[in-house]
Amino acid sequence: MATLELQQVKCPNCGAPISSFNAFKTQIECPYCHATLRNPSSIAVLKSMKQPERIIPFTTKEEDFGNHLVDALIHRKYVPKDVFDYIHAEDTIKAYLPMFLFEGKYEASWSGYVNEYYEDNGSTKSRKRYVNGNAYDNFSFLCLAYEGEDIPEELKSFSNTFPYDINITRMYDPAIIGNDPDQNLTTIPVNSDPELVWHRDCEANAIKIAENGIRQQAGKEVKNLQWNVAFDVFNRGTLVLVPFWFVYYNYQQSTYYFIMDGIGSKEQIISPEDMNEKKDIKKYNWLMWVAGIIALACIIISATDVLGDNVTARVLIGVGSIVPLIISIIYCLVRKSNILKESEAIRSERAERFLAGQ
């Protein structure tokens, strides 16, 4: 496979070449003049890399990524109201990750039994009826083609296996990356082997795909389902560049993140929690439980012989317990809703300032 020579980063302060740094750091330091500069395109980071055969171009912009992030944080429960004060647009990283494409098909034979019910002399009996079948289908997915510590574990896990859609894939052309107007684009070199990646990650994913196909064909009624599956992998390791966005931010000395693929189909978020707000919500949940227990106890008393034949007392206690219970539940639900809506409204207001500053 051919190699693609990539240009070298030069320090804008002293002009010295910078050839080694982590592509996933938002800032780098010149080893000569120690000037701090924004991490440039990692096309410029790497000296050389294996040339990909295909690429999935970005179909989203940084503005789209910001909107997804904002939407996730606004509507997520218990997110602190001031969270957007700790996220900075300049910390957003746009990256192409190298991934191996695996395409093939599976063939599986399966067997099991279903319970059949029949009438025998007026009673219902059951018997086993053994069933079997054959399932087969194609599969295609991408697995990360990188070993090392430069990629954060969250991003590595998020991108480890990725569905492949030929309709959004193009043959690799350096101009797709070279003409990208975003100067913050990054990438990393391939340093893994397709066979290693297949046996470590991808074979298990193929087995899972086959298992889902078998279970779908067999149906939920089949018991003791067993199967044998064989794979024919006819594309084992075509190199594809896959787009991702991600941002990390610190809140009260802890690190959180938001990751999204470059076509906007998949995202993952880990966000801080406002523990005081969470405690308030739990308080109202607890009050509803207490009200329910008290009401249940009153109903049980009214239904037993504790009150003797005093029907009026029974009715009063029974009805008198249900009405306060309903009032308590409505009050707690309204208070919970108001707390969450107020918090969401404040986050929404601050999100507008955040987006305006991008």
Reported as a single tens digit per residue, the pLDDT across 46-93 is: 434 567 899 999 999 988 998 999 999 999 999 999 998 888 766 788
Higher pLDDT, 349 or 180: 349
* Token reading at 235: 């594309």
CA distances from 306 to 16, 203, 298, 309 (A): 92, 67, 11, 9
| Consecutive H or E run containing 34 | none
Give the per-residue pLDDT at 42: 41
Instruction: Decide: helix, strand or coil at residue 299.
Output: helix
The pTM of the whole model exceeds 0.75: no
Reported as a single tens digit per residue, the pLDDT across 173-187 is: 877 775 555 545 677
Choose among 132, 31, 77, 32: nearest CA to 277.
Answer: 77
Interhelix angle 311-356/62-75, nearest 10 degrees: 160
| Position 8 confidence tier, pLDDT thresholds 50, 70, 90 | very low
Give the per-residue pLDDT at 14: 81
Judging by beta carbons within 10 Å of its beta carbon (0-12, 13-18, 19+), is residue 295 exposed, middle or buried?
buried
Give the per-residue pLDDT at 306: 53
Higher pLDDT, 321 or 237: 237
Reported as a single tens digit per residue, the pLDDT across 107-152 is: 999 999 999 988 888 888 889 999 999 999 999 999 999 887 777 7
Region 328-353: mean pLDDT is 91
For tokens 């320090």, what's the residue? 11
Q: Is residue 314 pLDDT above 70, yes or no?
A: no
